Amino acid sequence: MPIRNTDQIMHKAAWLYYSHGLRQDEVAQKLEISRASVATYLRRARETGIVNITTSTELFTDDVLARELEDATGVTAAWIVPEDRQAMDPTAEMPVLAASAFLELINKGDRVGVAWGRTVYHIADVMPFADLRGVTVVQLCGNLGAPYSYRPDQCTTEIARRLNAEGINFYAPLVLSSERLAEELRGEPVIREQLSTIADCHLALYSVGGIEDDSHLVKCGALSASEMHRMGEEGAVGVIAGQLIDGDGQWINCAHNRRCISADLDSIRAISKRMLVVQEDSKFEPLMAALKGGFASHLVVTTSMARRVMDRWRRDGLGKVHAATA
Amino acid sequence: MPIRNTDQIMHKAAWLYYSHGLRQDEVAQKLEISRASVATYLRRARETGIVNITTSTELFTDDVLARELEDATGVTAAWIVPEDRQAMDPTAEMPVLAASAFLELINKGDRVGVAWGRTVYHIADVMPFADLRGVTVVQLCGNLGAPYSYRPDQCTTEIARRLNAEGINFYAPLVLSSERLAEELRGEPVIREQLSTIADCHLALYSVGGIEDDSHLVKCGALSASEMHRMGEEGAVGVIAGQLIDGDGQWINCAHNRRCISADLDSIRAISKRMLVVQEDSKFEPLMAALKGGFASHLVVTTSMARRVMDRWRRDGLGKVHAATA
DNA sequence: GCAACGATTTGACTTATGTCACGAGCGATG
DNA sequence: CATCGCTCGTGACATAAGTCAAATCGTTGC
């Protein structure tokens, strides 16, 4: 990418304004352009990630409930979205919080994995712009066109774009019609190579899906409602990166899972920072399964969900979730 | 540190304003306080590091000269402060740049070492506020009261304060009157322990001192002008962390150095990211010595200084500086 | 060579933000 | 319990920043 002259001037303006604290008119004078242009450049500088404005998410981790949740379940950090009257709408708040928290967890040079779903897409949509060259964003699961266009590759791409990071997509369908084909495709060098690098990620971002008739997998047509129903009877409780898990968070050896091209669940568990974001109250059971399965080292949930998890965890006398094997 | 209620509200205001993009009056309405208060809280949030605004320093590394300097000398990265008419005063610019660049190099959980001098103090003085809990800032050299109150411990403390990091000072004088006493003091557990952790730093910040009559060591009274003069005749060329180095950047076995309580030069060389900042044009020879001695992996200099280094480096057919042993 | 287009820049205006003197609240002190 | 001294919050004003239609610039295609 050639360095355009306008980039230079935008960068200079941003530098003088943000790093030296000059006023816009002073910057304009120094650069011999109009103040209006300075304002425009500054906006672009923010949108480009040349200027980063981040707010500590401490507010949401600094909470007795968060501490309790961490202590009880063994997650490394929990962010709790409050639901009191003074707060914002939790549904709007959570993606913003998750995006900020996610950003805080990224280090220079990291490889980060991004999965798929409504939640992840919303996070991508409010992800702050940042200057994270050297970071690589990899797609955790195969593609699937979704009704509201939340395709896995779009999530990855959008996040990579905002972070000025490199995005690595892989172009395989999430589910294939036959196990044989899925197996063959997984064996393809391009695909196999990509899947094998997933365990090298330093950080992953995903939600957990439900298995109701209105679950994402069903709405996207990966599974019919009746198939999903049957899977539920056979022990499926939630969905991680497109794959069904049982109540203990274990991979289910079923037709759907065998037909799936997605990150191996053990690879995901091997990632040291696994950020799980759960918005809907209805995802309580899937969340419990994901927690038990060790899919969360970093958790973003609402106050009420946190309380429910605590209650259940205590009632069942569960221990701490196992840490990443990495 | 107890969590004050005002911190909470400041944090909320910052969150709504910066992360959600609400206007100040909207924030005021939501928090049921006046807009004026919101403005105040936001300023404090910026000053506290709850809100971080950073500008990429790419502008200064994105330069043919910087590339050449890196290629020739082997430093990992170079920041070049331009001296053209459109630019700011280089003397004012450099500390701001160095501070930003330094901040960019810090990772979560790092231990960073900070040395001493006018330059370092100026950098401390313009260091942006950040939320780097978990980072430790350690003092690299013993204390010495300076005419303009640039004491080593002040540099460390100020930087730690701004970063919200932990500052670790060590209270020993930089120079003692006898070698015996210096030796004994270095052997004291408190001191020895601190000095031994220096090699564990991930990042260090320092300048290189000159040996003129108006050099810092002389002005602070660590050495008389005549002593310094004599040291110059015996091969001293510059000063790193209070210690004299020769033209090749090697420690000189002289009375002053033996009387010094400071970071062992090999410990400094063992730090993987060594940021050297040189403001004054007069420090060319000291800079060359520091470079040859392997004291810079990251370099901040003016355009003219960069050119001089390039010229000399080529003329003398020098190779790349050796990397950190760590 | 010139018309047509998109991108950039600007002046003039609107809106948002920063500031400061003042007053309310509150804990410490005699 | 009155008074002091402090911090915190506010209204009103001054100042800075955002916006947008119109002008300008530079490129491309004919």
Residue range B227-262, pLDDT digits in tens:
999 999 999 999 999 999 999 999 999 999 999 999
User: In the prediction, which pLDDT does A248 show?
Assistant: 94
Q: Is pLDDT larger for residue B95 or for residue A319?
A: B95
For residue A90, what pLDDT band results from cuts at 50, 70 and 90? confident
Strands (E), chain A: 51-55, 77-81, 111-114, 136-139, 166-168, 203-206, 236-240, 243-246, 273-277, 298-302
Q: How far apart are CA A321 and CA A318, in angstroms?
A: 9
- Identify from B55, B132, B203 which residue to disrupt to test chain A contact, counting A C-beta atoms within 10 A and taking the largest count: B55
Q: Are B206 and B212 in contact (CB under 8 A)?
A: no
Q: Residue A94 above 60 pLDDT?
A: yes
Task: Give the CA A310 to C1' D5 distance in Å.
Answer: 47
User: In the prediction, which pLDDT does B6 show?
Assistant: 67
User: In the prediction, which pLDDT does B325 show?
Assistant: 45
Which residue places its CA closest to the C1' of nucleotide D9?
Answer: B37
Please list, in sequence order, all residues whose beta carbon lies within 8 angstroms of the beta carbon of residue A216, skipping any fewer than 6 positions away: A117, A118, A146, A209, A210, A239
Task: Give the CA B36 to C1' C19 distance in Å.
Answer: 9
A251 interfacial to chain B (CB closer than 8 Å)? no
User: In the prediction, which pLDDT does A326 show?
Assistant: 39
Of B12, B45, B96, the CB nearest to A19: B96
Domain span(s) for CATH 3.40.50.1360 in chain A: 58-316
B11 interfacial to chain A (CB closer than 8 Å)? yes
- Identify from B51, B59, B129 which residue to disrupt to test chain A contact, counting A C-beta atoms within 10 A and taking the largest count: B59
Domain span(s) for CATH 1.10.10 in chain A: 5-48
Q: Residue A169 above 50 pLDDT?
A: yes
Task: State which residue of chain B sits closest to A15, comparing Cα positions.
Answer: B55
Q: Residue B87 above 80 pLDDT?
A: no
Which residue places its CA closest to the C1' of nucleotide D8?
Answer: B37
Task: Mark yes or no for CB contact A49/B56 under 8 Å.
Answer: yes
On strand D, nucleotides with any atom < 7 Å from a protein CB are: 8-12, 16-20
User: In the prediction, which pLDDT does B222 show?
Assistant: 86
**A180-188 mean pLDDT:** 92
The position carrying tokens 């109701």 is A212
Q: Are B140 and B198 in contact (CB under 8 A)?
A: yes
Q: Residue A247 above 90 pLDDT?
A: yes
| B256 exposure class (CB count in 10 Å sphere: 0-12, 13-18, 19+) | buried
* CATH, range B58-316: 3.40.50.1360
For residue A8, what pLDDT band results from cuts at 50, 70 and 90? confident
For residue A205, what pLDDT band results from cuts at 50, 70 and 90? very high
Query: Quick one: CA torsion of B110, B116, B121, B123, rounded to 10 degrees?
Result: -40
At B110-126, the pLDDT tens digits run 999 999 888 999 999 89
Tokens of B48: 């506290």
Please list, in sequence order, all residues whose beta carbon lies within 8 angstroms of the beta carbon of residue A289, skipping any fewer than 6 positions away: A208, A237, A238, A245, A246, A247, A248, A249
B chain contacts of residue A134, beta-carbon cutoff 8 Å: none
Tokens of B140: 């690299």
Percent of chain B scored above 90 by pLDDT?
62
Of A52, A54, A96, the CB nearest to B20: A96
What single-letter DSSP state applies at residue A80? E
CA angle A88/A126/A101 to nearest 5° reads 75
**B201-227 mean pLDDT:** 91
- Residue from A167, A163, A319, A194 nearest A261 by CA: A194
For residue B90, what pLDDT band results from cuts at 50, 70 and 90? confident
**Average pLDDT of chain A to the nearest whole number:** 89
B272 interfacial to chain A (CB closer than 8 Å)? no
At B27-78, the pLDDT tens digits run 998 888 888 999 989 998 998 888 999 999 988 987 889 999 999 899 999 9
At B128-186, the pLDDT tens digits run 999 898 999 999 999 887 666 678 888 899 999 999 999 999 888 999 989 999 999 99
For B6: left if phi > 0, alpha if psi spans -120 to 50, otherwise beta; the answer is alpha
What is the architecture, at CATH level 2, of domain B5-48? Orthogonal Bundle (1.10)
Q: Are A105 and A298 in contact (CB under 8 A)?
A: yes
Q: Are B100 and B54 in contact (CB under 8 A)?
A: yes
Nearest nt to the CA of A40 via C1' is D18
Q: Is pLDDT larger for residue A34 or for residue A63?
A: A34
Distance from CA of A321 to the nearest CA of B (A): 24
What single-letter DSSP state applies at residue B314? H
Nearest nt to the CA of B21 via C1' is C16
At A20-59, the pLDDT tens digits run 989 898 899 888 888 899 998 999 899 888 898 999 998 8
**Minimum mean pLDDT range among A200-209, A316-325, B27-36:** A316-325
Cα A149 to the chain's mean position, in Å?
16
For residue A325, what pLDDT band results from cuts at 50, 70 and 90? very low
For residue B3, what pLDDT band results from cuts at 50, 70 and 90? very low
Of A12, A55, A96, the CB nearest to B14: A55
**A297-305 mean pLDDT:** 95
